[in-house]
Amino acid sequence: MADYCVHVTIENKPGISDPEGKTILNDLVLKGSNQNISKINTAKMLKFTITENDKESAQSKVQKICDELRIYNPMVSVVTIDAFDV
């Protein structure tokens, strides 16, 4: 058993408006000399520390928790789960 860090990134599905991302883009980033930036999406990240047999088990256990407890709302959000060695 070892400790793993699992990052859960929750962001809006494509097509769901992200007014915070748009504001950061239009009112901050594009007001500088950054005209090659076309889009900014905001997201929420949770970092789990979990003790498991291996990285794959850590990732699948966190995925299960996220699904069962509605850590993200599948109607409007997508979740990306990445596990790392601590």
Partner 1 sequence: MNVGVVVFPGSNCDRDMHHVLSDVFNVNTQYCWHDKPLPENIDAVILPGGFSYGDRLRAGVIAAHSPIIQDIKKIAEKGIPILGVCNGFQILVESGLLPGVLLKNDSLNFMCEWTNLTVENNKTPFTNQFQLNEKIPIPIANGDGRYFIDDETLKQLERKNQIVFKYDQVVNGSSNQIAGVCNEDGNVVGMMPHPERAAESEINPYDNKPSSLIFESLLKKIGANN
Q: How far is the CB of 42 from partner 1 (least distance, A)?
A: 10
User: Can you tell me the distance from the alpha carbon of 47 to that of 37, in angstroms, rounded to the nearest whole number?
Assistant: 28
With contacts defined by CB under 8 A, name the span among 31-39, 49-57, 70-78 that binds partner 1: 70-78
SS3 state of residue 39: coil
- Fill in the per-residue mask, 4 to 43: x = in contact with partner 1 (CB under 8 A), - = not in contact: ------------xx-xx--x--------------------
Residue reference for tokens 């990445």: 82
Contacts of 33 (CB under 8 A, 6+ apart): none
Q: Is 67 in the site for partner 1 (CB under 8 A)?
A: no
